[in-house]
A and B are shown apart, each in its own frame.
Chain A
Amino acid sequence: MADRKLIRLLPPLLFAVALALLPVLAEAAGRGYLIGVSTNVLIFAIAASSLNLILGYGGMVSLGHAAFFGSGAYVVGILAHHAMWGAPLMVWPFHIGGTESAFIAWPLAILVSALLALVIGAISLRTSGLYFIMITLAFAQMLFFFFIALNEYGGEDGMSLWNRSHAGPLDLNDNTQFFYLVLAFTLALLFLKHRLVNSRFGVVLTGIRDNPRRMRALGYPVRRYQLAAFTLAGAVAGLAGALIANQTEFVSPTFLHWTRSGEILIMVVLGGMGTLFGPLLGAAAFLLLEETLADLTEHWMIIFGPLLLLVVLFARGGLWSLVERLRAALGGGGERR
């Protein structure tokens, strides 16, 4: 038994070790820019994972997830903006100034995104199917235009940050340190997600995905479960947004554009919906493919678009299902449930 457990745990462990060694290897190979690329991948993996919770496990197709991602980024950006210029964010009824501290700005980003998700979810979950897709999209567009209207924060052009958040002893302006912090977040969130979807809550959520009517007949408050998942996903997307604002040192309304929501959705499906590692794989595949194809030709979308169509038509289950099949083929390594 101990052997089988070891075999099961080995691939994720190897994977984590490889990621941990990445900055060292990248520096050694003289390709330091790879650290930034990987940080980007991990941040989008967090965003995609959060969408996966409601999409893959909850069956809620939201086309407005970038709203929470972008709002998180804007919270960090706006606070840093006020800290930079020394102008208070609010004078009445309390005096609130800006801050560049990660310990204040990041939890606030999570909180704001969670609250937005709570409100948006409470209204959107009254609908289902195509109507749900469209109403989440509508709310995201609403926020998109809201941030365009904020002239003080750059309006349509967005604004640059002077430096990354301050996080105690860590120097986040150092790309390697920032990478390790994001990696730690990613692994911690993957672990938490693993615990969550295997908990009673997660089982109820997948039950609702598969048959909401039966779950309601069993006495579960279906919409409350969905709303809890939706809010949680929004909160995690807010964290990803706070991280991306630090990574790019820039925020703009394009972070909330509906095509961004579409991209996050693609990452989840490309990697494998309702799987633990799928979104990570999907984010990596999407961003690296984008990078490679963009190197190849400036018209990379003319390859990427039809590729997406082909993946949908012929490769159901996403990339992670290929990995699972490979593991099964390699002799009993695959899980049977």
Chain B
Amino acid sequence: MLLFLEQTLNGLQLGVMLFLMASGLTLIAGIMSFINLAHGSFYMIGAFVAASVAQATGSFMLGLAVALPATAILAMVLESGALNRLYDRDHLDQVLATFGLILFFNELVKIVWGAQPFYLNTPDWLSGSVEIISGVPYPAYRLALIVTGLAVALFLYLLIQRSRLGMLIRAGASNREMVGALGVNIKLLYTLVFGLGALLAALAGVMAGPIYAVQIGMGESILILTFVVVVVGGIGSIRGAFAGALLIGLVDTMGRAYLPDMLRLALPPATADNLGASLASMSIYILMAVILALRPRGLFPAHG
């Protein structure tokens, strides 16, 4: 039971990280109708910048403070320089162009930082553990991740549903020509949304740093998971991204924790562990295939 609680928290923690990635991706896909495979690169770049700043200065928070704006600015330059030409193209062109960007950024990071993985240390004040209920210590850092993720979710909800900028974003998603005709600078709006998405991806990357290694290719593994989340939730829907992220995070974590044990009841241990591990890796894709087969537009279709 205690283990179950711990695994649930781990699942939540993966879930909120996926949400940070997915919220940006789903906004960009829903509003600009743009498929950005390079979203994982922003995650990687954020982590690398934070790790090197933290190593130089010894401060995790300073690393975070540098990485977020740096990544956002890089993304906005890229968007206004090249990617905004792709908004009217079909998805295939977007996939190819951003696939090219992945290759570029991976190689760039390899040249600048070398091929060795980095490690980012947790800040001292979060390095301990907290007893949630007595007898269940849980790392304070992971708990902080969950809180941060939920806070970002709340912030995004308020931003999109309650602010003027959010209103323009929603309007731009339903009819971009009309919003442009009403005198709104739609290009600037798009650039801002793109930058916001990259900023959230960088935040996820920095937060992931102390848990997983900071290495080349870290962006791709989470990118695919993120796409699963976006598609399961329904493209363009923040609510869907939130529900999808928690669902995928929990299913993935629970599958890894319990499937091998469950299979051990019926199979020899070595076979069970092996089969369990791969079934756990496959579980989210099976879940996605089932959801899309039943609801071809995801759980929370955004418009119409």
* Contact yes or no, A306 B224, CB < 8 A: no
Q: Is A138's CB under 8 angstroms from B96's CB? A: no
The interface residues of chain B lying within 8 Å CB-to-CB of A180 are none
Query: Is there an interface contact between B228 and A142, defined as CB atoms closer than 8 Å?
Result: no
CB distance from A293 to the nearest CB of B (A): 11
> A133-B35, A134-B228, A312-B86 are contacts. A123–B97 as well, Cβ < 8 Å?
no
Does B199 sit within 8 A of A, measured CB to CB? Answer: no
Count of A-B contacts judged by CB separation below 8 Å: 128
The answer, among A130, A304, A309, for a CB contact under 8 Å with B231, is A130
Whether A305 and B100, one on each chain, are in contact in the complex, defined by CB atoms closer than 8 angstroms, is: yes
Distance (Å) between the CB of B231 and the closest chain A CB?
Answer: 4
| CB-based nearest B residue for A134 | B231
Taking CB as reference atom, which chain A residue is nearest B293?
A123
Q: Does B177 make an interface contact (CB < 8 A)?
A: no
Interface centre among A129, A148, A305 (most CB of B within 10 A): A305
A265 at the A/B interface (Cβ < 8 Å)?
A: yes
Please determine whether B296 and A126 come into contact, CB atoms closer than 8 angstroms. yes
Contact B224 A137 (CB under 8 A): yes
User: Among the interface residues B29, B277, B279, B289, which one has the most CB atoms of the partner chain A within 10 A?
Assistant: B289
Complex: A146 Cα to B103 Cα, angstroms:
26
Query: Known contacts A302-B107, A308-B103; is A145 also within 8 Å of B296 by CB?
Result: no
Tell me whether B80 is interfacial, beta carbon within 8 Å: no
Cβ contact of A142, chosen from B111, B286, B296, cutoff 8 A: B286
The answer to whether the Cβ of A254 comes within 8 Å of any Cβ in the partner chain is no
Smallest CB–CB gap between A61 and chain B, Å? 5
Quick check: is B281 within 8 A (CB to CB) of the other chain?
yes
Interfacial residues of chain B within 106-151, with CB under 8 A of chain A in the complex: 106-108, 110-111
Residues 277-300 of B, flagged 1 when their CB comes within 8 A of A and 0 if not, give 111011001101100110011100
Decide yes or no whether B155 CB sits under 8 A from chain A.
no
Query: Which residues of A115-154 have CB atoms within 8 Å of chain B's CB atoms?
Result: 123, 126-131, 133-135, 137-139, 141-142, 145-146, 148-149, 151
B92 at interface (Cβ–Cβ under 8 A)? yes
Q: Which of B150-183 contact A (CB under 8 A)?
A: none
Write out, one digit per residue, whether chain B residues 73-108 have a CB within 8 A of any chain A CB (1) or not (0): 000000000100110010111011101111111111
Chain B neighbourhood of A148, CB < 8 A: 278, 281
Given A126-B296, A130-B29, A308-B99: A138 and B91 interface contact (C-beta under 8 Å): no
Contact A138 B228 (CB under 8 A): yes
Look across to chain A and name the residue whose beta carbon is closest to the beta carbon of B232. Answer: A134
Contact: B103 with A130, CB < 8 Å?
A: no
CB distance B227 to A134 under 8 Å?
Answer: yes
Give complex CA distance A308, B230 in Å. 26
With A146-B282, A262-B99, A306-B104 as given contacts, are A131 and B91 in contact (CB-CB < 8 Å)?
A: no
Shortest CB distance B167–A (Å): 25
Q: Fill in one digit per residue for A291-319: 1 if any B CB lies within 8 Å of its CB, else 0.
A: 00000000111101111110111000000
Contact residues in B for A309 (Cβ distance below 8 Å): 82, 97, 100-101, 104
Closest to B94 in A: A312
B82 near A313 (CB under 8 angstroms)? yes
Q: Which of A123, A133, A146, A311 contacts B289 (CB 8 A)?
A: A123
| Contacting residues, chain B, for A54 (C-beta < 8 A) | none
Q: Does A258 contact B (CB under 8 A)?
A: yes
A43 to chain B: closest CB distance in Å? Answer: 21
| Given A130-B29, A312-B100, A313-B85: A135 in contact with B289 (beta carbons within 8 A) | yes
Q: Which of B95, B104, B275, B286 has a CB less than 8 Å from the CB of A301?
A: B104
> A63 at interface (Cβ–Cβ under 8 A)?
yes
Known contacts A266-B96, A301-B107, A306-B104; is A151 also within 8 Å of B231 by CB?
A: no
Check B103 against A135 for contact (C-beta < 8 Å): no
The answer to the question of A236 belonging to the interface, with a C-beta cut-off of 8 Å to chain B, is: no
Q: Is A269 interfacial (CB-CB < 8 Å)?
A: yes
Complex Cα spacing A262 to B224, Å: 13
- A146 and B278 contacting across the interface, CB-CB below 8 Å: yes
B218 within 8 A of A: no
Minimum C-beta distance from B58 to chain A (A): 31
Q: How far is the CA of A128 from the CA of B298 in the complex (A)?
A: 12
Complex Cα distance A269/B279, Å? Answer: 34
Question: Complex formed: what's the CA distance from A142 to B287 in Å?
Answer: 11
Whether the Cβ atoms of B278 and A145 lie closer than 8 Å is yes
Q: Flag if A127 contacts B282 (CB, 8 Å).
A: no
17 contacts between A and B (CB under 8 A): A123-B293, A131-B292, A134-B230, A141-B224, A142-B285, A142-B289, A149-B274, A149-B275, A262-B95, A269-B92, A302-B108, A305-B101, A305-B103, A305-B105, A309-B97, A309-B104, A313-B82
Closest 5 CB pairs of A and B: A149-B278, A308-B100, A305-B104, A305-B103, A145-B281
Given contacts A305-B100, A305-B102, 20 further A-B contacts (CB under 8 A): A127-B296, A130-B91, A131-B298, A134-B228, A134-B231, A135-B231, A135-B288, A141-B224, A142-B286, A145-B281, A145-B282, A148-B281, A262-B99, A265-B92, A266-B96, A269-B96, A302-B108, A305-B101, A312-B89, A312-B93
